[in-house]
Amino acid sequence: MFTASLKEVEEQLANLQALVAKAQRAGASELHESQCVQATRIAQNLRNITKPPGEIAHEITMMPYITTATRLAIDLGIFKSLSAAYPKHQTSQALVDYALANTDAKAVSPDFVTRTMRLLTLYGLATETDYGTYVASSTTHAFAAPDEALQSQVVHFFEFYNPAMEHSVSYFAEQGYVFPTEDNVGPFQSFWQVDIPTYEFWSRQPPVVLERLNKFMKAVHSVAWYEWIDVGEMFKKRIIEFEESDDKKKLLLVDLGGGKGVMVHNLRKKLDEAGLKGKIMLEERPPVIKDALAGAASLGHSQESGMPGVEYLAHDFLRPQPEEAQGSLYYYLSYVLHNWNDETSIRLLKLVAKAMRPGYSRLLINERVLQPTGNDLQKAGLDFHMAFSHGSKERTLAEYGELVKAAGMEVVKYHRSPDDGQDLVECALA
Ligand SMILES: C[S@@+](CC[C@H](N)C(=O)[O-])C[C@H]1O[C@@H](n2cnc3c(N)ncnc32)[C@H](O)[C@@H]1O
């Protein structure tokens, strides 16, 4: 018979109580996001101790239905409907009416909605208040958000990665249980019958796919480093170190492969608040630059020139850095290196090193750095994901150290995030 050790259960409860007490001592009435992440981790430990093996097997077996139910709910507009109706509760019939009026659904029955909602409410994607009656939870609102980040993540994985995951079982049985290290070979390429890197595969898909990919990139992030590091202080300190005035022409940061520009737009605001006028630059592939400019326009800036103080440069970062991107105070690679194998990463890092001014420029690598043990689902899952689709991996600090060393740099500081999320690895020319 399955039992759980009381001592182990008590240990986890004590951890949770300590977390709550710490927040209370700080005068808070709520846990903030990184504390919520810590609380979830404790709950996960408690679950591992108390969940009988049969229940765990059940959860693993049924998980694809949760994914499927979420995908179906997206197609039926259930999150949008519940979120818009909040704080009102909605019945399955009201959700049917919404789907028929606002989506492509040809027919929907209240029974279909009720049975779908049973799975969703189990995972907090909405709250069940009575039989066939629901109200939006905070997760519902997040899934209904206009940026569509979370919905895009679910749909993108469902369409492109999930079939490749199933295919991987026969792939590894045939090829051997070794993760590929080439960016154009792997279960993903094998399923989709292509021999090109995954990013090239995306660029050949209809624009809606690339758009969805860019939307969901936002979702893979946890609390951004610029929320827990005082950006103004960090930049000012280095500017003062070089006794240089912060004139308008100075290039403060180049964000290579910065996606739709979420980080440059946020950073620009932070730098403005700190009175720092130097330029920052987003360097991306041409279609993504277009999306970034559209993103700037949605923030109320010009569609042609984007946010003031941000330069938008269409450039392939696997080619030498152009003149205008030379000698920046910081170069920034966020969730880029984990897409590439060691060989291509070193090629990219060498090109960055060439653009760096000795003794002055720094490289900031923003990634979820793997810890030796106890990595969460984001880290362990993303590592698998990188292996499946990019022939690459998540790395430990030592592995990042090896990579930058091969490109003539060294790690000068490791800024570890308070919630074990996005870390910052600061490097300089060796
Ligand atoms: C995983 S996303 C990371 C986006 C962003 N840095 C972030 O943290 O959300 C990787 C980005 O690298 C960009 N990228 C891939 N290959 C590139 C290349 N050769 N030149 C420039 N950007 C590239 C992609 O367009 C994509 O936006």
ipTM: 0.99
- Residue range(s) defining the domain that contains residue 382: 222-429
Q: What is the percentage of the chain residues whose pLDDT exceeds 70?
A: 97
266-309 pLDDT, tens digit per residue, is: 999 999 999 888 999 999 999 899 989 999 999 999 999 999 99
Given 121, 144, 167, the domain boundary residue is: 144
Q: Find out whether the beta carbon of 422 lies less than 6 Å from any atom of ligand 1.
A: no
Whole-angstrom distance, CA of residue 124 vs CA of residue 135: 11
Same-domain check for residues 135 and 153: no
Whole-angstrom distance, CA of residue 359 vs CA of residue 373: 35
212-254 pLDDT, tens digit per residue, is: 988 887 666 667 888 889 999 999 888 877 776 666 568 999 9
Whole-angstrom distance, CA of residue 118 vs CA of residue 132: 9
Separation of 339 CA from ligand 1 center, angstroms? Answer: 9
Same-domain check for residues 227 and 302: yes
Retrieve residue 244's tokens. 């240089």
Same-domain check for residues 45 and 176: no
Given 144, 159, 175, the domain boundary residue is: 144
Distant-in-sequence, close-in-space partners of 108: CB < 8 Å, separation ≥ 6: 76, 96, 99, 100
Q: Find out whether the beta carbon of 157 lies less than 6 Å from any atom of ligand 1.
A: no
Q: Find out whether the beta carbon of 284 lies less than 6 Å from any atom of ligand 1.
A: yes
Q: Find out whether the beta carbon of 258 lies less than 6 Å from any atom of ligand 1.
A: yes
Q: What are phi and psi of 252, to 5 degrees?
A: -90, -30
CB contact at 8 A, 384 and 326? no
Same-domain check for residues 232 and 214: no
* Best residue for ligand 1 mutational test, from 284, 290, 389, 424 (most atoms within 8 Å of Cβ): 284
pLDDT at residue number 31: 94
Same-domain check for residues 270 and 402: yes
Cα dihedral value 34, 52, 49, 166, nearest 10: -50
pLDDT at residue number 15: 97
Whole-angstrom distance, CA of residue 403 vs CA of residue 337: 10
Q: Find out whether the beta carbon of 57 lies less than 6 Å from any atom of ligand 1.
A: no
* Other CB atoms within 10 A of residue 382 CB: 20
Query: How does strand 133-135 pair with strand 90-91?
Result: antiparallel
For residue 262, the ligand 1 atom closest to its alpha carbon is 9
pLDDT at residue number 54: 96
CB contact at 8 A, 166 and 156? no
Same-domain check for residues 153 and 101: no
Distant-in-sequence, close-in-space partners of 39: CB < 8 Å, separation ≥ 6: 16, 19, 31
Q: What are phi and psi of 76, to 5 degrees?
A: -90, 0
Residue 389 lies in a domain: yes
Residue 349 lies in a domain: yes
CB contact at 8 A, 425 and 414? yes
Residue 128 lies in a domain: yes
Q: Find out whether the beta carbon of 197 lies less than 6 Å from any atom of ligand 1.
A: no
For residue 366, the ligand 1 atom closest to its alpha carbon is 8
Same-domain check for residues 272 and 421: yes
Separation of 336 CA from ligand 1 center, angstroms? Answer: 6
Whole-angstrom distance, CA of residue 238 vs CA of residue 230: 13
Same-domain check for residues 99 and 76: yes
Whole-angstrom distance, CA of residue 41 vs CA of residue 35: 10
pLDDT at residue number 318: 96
For residue 332, the ligand 1 atom closest to its alpha carbon is 6
Number of domains composing the chain: 3
Same-domain check for residues 18 and 128: yes
Residue 293 lies in a domain: yes
Given 181, 196, 218, the domain boundary residue is: 218
Separation of 349 CA from ligand 1 center, angstroms? Answer: 14
Q: Find out whether the beta carbon of 318 lies less than 6 Å from any atom of ligand 1.
A: yes
29-79 pLDDT, tens digit per residue, is: 999 888 898 899 999 999 999 999 999 999 999 999 999 999 999 999 999
- The SS3 of residue 215 is helix
More confident residue, 199 or 248: 199
Peptide bond into 197 cis (omega under 30): no
pLDDT at residue number 249: 67
Same-domain check for residues 228 and 214: no
Q: Which helix (H) or strand (E) segment is 397 a member of?
A: helix 397-406
Question: Could you tell me which of 88, 105, 86 has the C-alpha nearest to residue 96?
Answer: 105
Q: Find out whether the beta carbon of 259 lies less than 6 Å from any atom of ligand 1.
A: yes
For residue 333, the ligand 1 atom closest to its alpha carbon is 6
The residue type at 225: W
CATH number, domain of 239, equals 3.40.50.150
pLDDT at residue number 220: 62
CA atoms within 13 A on the CB side of 397: 15
Q: For residue 9, is pLDDT > 80?
A: yes
Residue 415 lies in a domain: yes
Q: Find out whether the beta carbon of 199 lies less than 6 Å from any atom of ligand 1.
A: yes
pLDDT at residue number 277: 86
For residue 318, the ligand 1 atom closest to its alpha carbon is 19
Whole-angstrom distance, CA of residue 18 vs CA of residue 281: 43
Retrieve residue 136's tokens. 């939006």
Q: Give Rg (Cα) of the chain.
A: 24
Retrieve residue 320's tokens. 């030498």
Retrieve residue 53's tokens. 């093996």
74-132 pLDDT, tens digit per residue, is: 999 999 999 999 999 999 999 999 999 999 999 999 999 999 999 999 999 999 999 99
CATH number, domain of 139, equals 1.10.10.10
Q: For residue 138, is pLDDT > 80?
A: yes
* Other CB atoms within 10 A of residue 298 CB: 12
Q: Nearest residue CA, atom 20 of ligand 1?
A: 316
pLDDT at residue number 218: 67
Whole-angstrom distance, CA of residue 308 vs CA of residue 279: 9
* Least confident range of 13-27, 33-47, 357-371: 33-47
Question: Could you tell me which of 323, 342, 321 has the C-alpha nearest to residue 332?
Answer: 321
Q: Find out whether the beta carbon of 339 lies less than 6 Å from any atom of ligand 1.
A: yes
Same-domain check for residues 159 and 201: yes
Same-domain check for residues 22 and 127: yes
Residue 75 lies in a domain: yes
CB contact at 8 A, 387 and 180? yes
Average pLDDT, the chain: 94
Residue 161 lies in a domain: yes
Where do the H-state alpha helices sit in 145-285? 149-156, 162-175, 187-192, 198-203, 207-217, 225-228, 231-241, 262-273
pLDDT at residue number 250: 87
Question: Could you tell me which of 223, 225, 245 has the C-alpha nearest to residue 234?
Answer: 225
Residue 1 lies in a domain: no
Conformational region of residue 124, where left means phi above 0, alpha means psi within -120 to 50, and beta covers everything else: left
CB contact at 8 A, 400 and 379? no
